[in-house]
Every structure is written in C-alpha cells, then in structure tokens.
Structure 1
Amino acid sequence: MASLLSRLPVLKQLRQSVGLQRGMLVTGLVITGVFVLVAVFAPAIAPYGFAQLRGADGPFGAQQPPSAEHIMGTTVGGYDVYSRVLWGAQTAVLVILVAVVCSIFVGILLGLVSGYLGGWLDRVLVVIGDAIYAFPSLLLAIVLSIVISGGQSSLWGGILAAALSITVVFIPQYYRVIRAETIRIKAEPYVESAKMLGASPLRIMFRHVLRNATRTLPVIFTLNSSEALLTLAGLGFLGFGIEPTAAAEWGYDLNKALSDVTSGIWWTALYPGLAIVLAVLGITLVGESLNDLADPRLRGRKRVKARSGAVSMTSVDTTLPSDLEIRQENA
C-alpha cells in the first residue's frame, strides 16, 4: 500500500521537491484541498440554501451588512453571501471535472490516432485544432454557451453547457501534446519490435504508446483546471452562466455586485472575488510546481549544487609535496 501511494503523481513529486518548490507545492495542495473539501461538504457547512431568501424570522433583506446571522452579509437579491460562496465551490468543481475529463478523453484519442496514423487525417485534424486554438478561449466559450443553452439553463443544463463550451477550448491543447509525444514514441525501437511481432495498430497505440505519452497530463490537468475556473467565472460575470435559482456561481455574484461597490457595499463583491482568487491560486501553484519538477534540471538543481560543492572540496590532492619539502630534498 505504501509503495502504491508513493507512485502517485503528486506524492511522488512532493518527495522529490526541495526548498521553494516544496513550499509552493505544499501551499497549493493545502489551498486546493480546502477548496475541494468545501465543495464536497457544502450542503453540510452552508447555513442556508444557495437560492434561499427567507429564514425562521422572515426574509433576509437585501444588502444587509455582515452580522451574527449573516457573517458575510446578503446580496442585492437577498441571498446569504456566505452560503453562496460555499455552494459556488461545488458548482466550480463539477464544471472543472466535467470539462477537463471530457477534453482529456477526446484530446488523447484524437492525438493518438493523428500522431500514429498520420496522412491526410493528421493534416485535417491539425488544421482544425489550430483553427480552434487561434480563437480567444472566452469568446469561443460564450458562443458555444449561447448555442448550447441560449444563456439560460437549469443546474445540470448550465453545468453541462459551461463544461462543454470549455471542453472544446481545451481539446486542442491535449491533442497537441499527445500527438507530439506519439510521433516521437512511434519511432522508438520497442514500437518497431511490436510491429515486427505482428501487433495490431490499436494494440500498439493503447498498450505501448499511450502509457508513455501521457506522463505530462497531470501538469496540463492542473493548469487547465484553473483556466476552466476562470472561464466559468467569466461566463457568469458576462451573464452567460447559470441562473441564481439553479446554482450558485461566483462570476454571476460578482456581476450583480458591480453597482454595490460604488455605493460602499463591499461585502457582496469581496468574498466571491476572494474565493475565485484563492481557488485559482491554489490550483496554479500545484500546476507550476509539477511543471518545474517535471524538468530534471530544475528538480535536482539544489542536490547537484550540493554534490558539486562536496566534490570540489574533496578533489584537492593532498599527497603532493609542499614547496618546503621540495627545497629540503634539493638541498
């Protein structure tokens, strides 16, 4: 069991990290872990529902300042800010999982087929991928969100619309990485040996090539997760996200808090914005740390420096005679 845990990507990189790299990775893991735990236990932690407007004593009231009953105040629509922030983490995690997982599967499949088979199919997929990649990601997500849901949707309808719009943006990234790795790996001797033994193309792609072409996916997964969160917040801020009665979404809450900021009502915009910043910061720290640790030169620079210093100190030949000994022998 211990050996199995030590082979997990993040735990393996954590053991390899040193100094600032380890500090960044640990900080990112802690923030991301809290973000995920809040999303999982939001129904138990949140004192109210994400669309709840009334309590035991009556309506909450709009734009109420922080108090014992509402520790983060209420929004212009009369929702509890603290509850909306907690429920918003759940919506963000669902969209990230659906978007990134779908884009991974589609991108890996297209990259394997395109890189291994080549030919006209490879050229067509490269052109399509470059065309999609050239569009601004947020603009493309807005267009696809309008096409899929018309900008208005239910909980799962909005989650799927946002996730699918983000998926289309991310597919070219995974496609490029897997295609480049597949082209490199299919020229390796063990792949040529499998061909000589009569292995089918499907067996070679999924048994020999896929295993070695997906080593950098944890890095891309974490970096794309933060980008997916920002894209979701951007869609909600521009009014193409999920309706407030269907789910809590931080970008939508920021949009409704714009007019409050100029009136001195700071709490309706501060906490959703802070939630976005912290979630993106935690995921980005994990992704950047994994990216650094994936490079052996960056991963081992401290150890190499220590070893080179030790070698240089012990490499002096102390067996050579001194000048005094040489003069004495000549005399």
Structure 2
Amino acid sequence: MTTTTASNPASRLLKNRAVQRFLESTSGLIGLALTVFITLAAILAPVLNPYDPATDRDYAARLQGPSLEHWFGADGLGRDILTQVWYGLRTSLVIGLVAVLVGLMIGVMLGLAAGYFRGWIEIAIGWLTDVMLAFPSILLAIAIVTVTGPSMVSVMFAVGIVQIPKFIRLTRSMVLSLREQEFVQTVRAFGAKPPRIIFQHILPASLAPLTVQATLAIGTSTLEAAGLGFLGLGAQPPTPELGTMLSDAFKGGYSLSAPWTIVFPGLFITLTVLAFNLLGDGLRDAFDPRGGLSS
C-alpha cells in the first residue's frame, strides 16, 4: 500500500512533464492538428458533402476542374473528387488503425514471450522475425493479398502482418531491459508468477515506446494500403480509397489533362502520413526521459 501511495505523485509528475514536453513540441502540435482535421473529415464525410461516393455522378461535369460546385473537381465518371477524398480518408484510416491493432497485439505478445522467457522461445520468434524482415514490407503485403484475394479485409490483414516484426523487436528490447530492473526482481522474489510480472509490471512500463511506434505505424500502414490500392489489390469498387483513385486517374490518362484527379488524392495520402509521423515524433519527445533532464 505504501509503495502504491508513494508512486502515485511520481506517476502524476511524470505525466505532467510528458504533457508539458508535448505542448512544447512544434512537430507534435502540428501533427495533432493535422490528425484531428483528417479524422474529423473522415468521420463527418456524409455531413461535409451531399454526394454519394458510389452512385452520384454528374456526367456534365466530367473531368471538370475545381469549381464552386465541385471544389476538387470531378473525375472521369463525373464523381465529385472532394467526396471521394473524404470517404477515401475514412477507408484509409480504418485500414491503418485495424492493421496496427493486429500488428500491435500479435507483435507485443510474441515480443513479451521472447524477451521474458528467452531460450528456444526467443530463438524461434527471432527466426520468424528475421524471415519476415527479409522481405520488403510492400512485397510481403502483396504476396499475402494475392493469396487471400483483393479486398479491404485482406489489406487490413496483410498490412497488419507486415507490422508484426517491428512490434516484436521493440517489445523484446524493452522486456530485456526491464526484466533485470529492481522493481521486477522484487516482485519476482515475493513469488509473483510470470503472467503477473509481465502484464502488471513490464507491459505497463513499455506503453510509452509502444504508443509512439503504433502512432508512426498508422502512417506507414496508410501508405502501404494506398500502394496496394494503386496496384488494384486494395478495397474494391465502389468503396472509395485514395490509392484506387490514383490508379483510376493514371489508367484513364488524366495525369496531364486533368491533374486534379491525381493531385488531391496524393495530397491527402501525404498529409495523412505526415500527420501521424509528426504526432509520433511529438509523443517520442514527450515520453523521452532525457527531455526532462535537458530542461
């Protein structure tokens, strides 16, 4: 009871310092603002635009440039590009979040097992990690989607699998560092079982770097999902997806005659990746203990 009571003020102090460092991080605040904007645009897509992305087509406005009626112009089928972008953002964010959740859950569990139990478990998981990292991530994702068939669910699964080795390595390194710390040795000496040590002591102490990695991974997952969509392996029509929009524009030969069909989807892919990368950088600066020492 005494340890818990004493640790609460220290925990609150660390949290307050982390928040202060984040608020002092320009990149973090810019990333947070962009992330909020992109997320709200994706959630409020039906409210922001009166068009249905799958069925509403204005053939008279086909390949029309940006105007008051179609702010981002219209594509080759007369669809409003702004509407397509908003709904495409929703698809990209769902894919990114689910994929990272898959990679995080599986990667963390394997990393905890490899770092704590060591021995043949660590060797087997390390071998699996090395094999997965031997393939470029996009090629591994393409191989998985090719086997499972192109769909939104397949993309989530494939991109999530690609993220697993990153979380395994990060979690394992954190466990190797923490398992020899005094507080872990103390609870072990009092007879605590491995599951309790892992989930009540080691895992909570690893949440900060895992949060940073998960934030960065959302941007990476969004980019990989867009790449699969560009290759025709992502979410299938009529589901709007930013990578698929780029693919349709290139296939239609609109890159020169109607550049807005490429510029706006590409711009929001870039903004999404940039937003989560900047947010991740800000969180890393906030959670880095050396930040408090330097101040």
The TM-score with structure 1 as length reference comes to 0.79
- Aligned counterpart, 2:231: 238
Structure 2 CA distance for aligned equivalents of residues 172 and 101 of structure 1: 13
Residue pairs, 1:23-172, within 5 angstroms? 23-54=26-57, 59=59, 61-149=61-149, 151=150, 153=151, 158=152, 160-172=153-165
- Distance 1:215-1:86 versus aligned 2 partners, 3 A rule: same
1:292–1:299 CA contact under 8 A, matched in 2: no
Q: Structure 1 stretches of 5 or more lacking a match?
A: 304-331
Q: Is the 8 A contact 2:62 2:77 kept in 1?
A: yes
Matches of 1:298 and 1:179, distance apart in 2: 24
CA change 1:144–1:15 in 2 (3 A) is: same
2:247 to 246, 255, 265: 255
Output the amino acid matched with 1:208.
H
Please say if residues 71 and 82 of structure 2, whose CA atoms lie closer than 8 Å, have aligned partners that are also in contact: yes
Q: CA deviation at 1:46?
A: 2.1
Structure scoring higher RCO (CA < 8 A, sep ≥ 6) equals 2
Q: Deviations over 1:45-65 (max 9, x none)?
A: 12211212436xxx4553222
Distance 2:54 2:90 in 1: 14
Matched, 1:222 2:215: yes
Q: Secondary structure at the match of 1:231?
A: helix
Which secondary structure state, in structure 1, belongs to the residue aligned with residue 103 of structure 2? helix
Shift of residue 199 of structure 1?
A: 1.6
Distance 2:289 2:145 in 1: 41
Is 1:15 the counterpart of 2:20 in the alignment?
A: yes
Q: Which amino acid aligns with 1:114?
A: A
Looking at structure 2, the residues matched to 212 and 272 of structure 1 have their Cα atoms a distance apart, in angstroms, of 39
Paired residue for 1:275?
A: 268
Matched residues, percent identical?
34
Measured in 1, the distance between the counterparts of 2:17 and 2:234 equals 37
133 and 182 in structure 1: CA distance in 2 versus 1, 3 angstrom threshold: same
1:199 aligns with 2:192: yes
Q: Partners of 1:64 and 1:296 in 2: how far apart?
A: 53
> What's the offset of the Cα at 1:268?
0.7
Residues in 2 aligned to 1:229 and 1:300: alpha-carbon distance in whole angstroms: 35
Give, in angstroms, the shift of residue 182 of structure 1. 1.1
Q: Which moved more, 1:226-235 or 1:183-192?
A: 183-192
Per-residue CA deviations over 1:125-165 (Å, capped at 9, x if unaligned) read 0010111012101111111111122x2x3xxxx1x211110
Contact 1:148 1:161 in 2 (8 A): yes
CA RMSD of aligned residues (A): 2.4
Q: Which residue of 1 aligns with 2:206?
A: 213
Give 3-state SS (helix, strand or coil) of 1:49's partner: coil
Deviation of the 1:188 alpha carbon: 2.0
User: Mean alpha-carbon deviation: is it higher for 189-198 or for 32-41?
Assistant: 189-198
Q: How has the CA–CA distance of structure 1 residues 49 and 177 changed in structure 2, closer, same or farther, with 3 Å as cutoff?
A: same
Larger proportion of helix: 2
Checking the alignment, whether the CA contact within 8 Å between 1:60 and 1:79 is kept in structure 2 is no
Q: Does 1:174 align with 2:167?
A: yes
Partner of 1:215, secondary structure, is helix
Secondary structure in structure 2 of the residue aligned to 1:94: helix
Deviations 1:172-215 (A, max 9, x none): 11111111111221122332222222221111111121111222
SS at match of 1:216: helix
Residues 95-143 of structure 1 show CA distances to partners (whole Å, capped at 9, x for unaligned) of 1111111111111111111111111111010010111012101111111
Q: Is the 8 A contact 2:22 2:283 kept in 1?
A: no
Aligned residue type for 1:200: K
Q: Specify the alignment match of 2:3 in structure 1.
A: none
Tell me if the contact between 1:16 and 1:293 (Cα under 8 Å) persists in the aligned partners: yes
For normalisation by structure 2, the TM-score amounts to: 0.88
Whole-Å Cα distance in 2 between the matches of residues 112 and 235 of structure 1? 31
Q: What SS is found at the alignment partner of 2:234?
A: coil
Following the alignment from structure 1 to structure 2, what is the Cα–Cα distance between the partners of residues 205 and 295? Answer: 22
Change (3 A) 1:48 1:132: same
Paired residues, number: 284
Residues 73 and 267, structure 1, Cα contact 8 Å, conserved in 2: yes
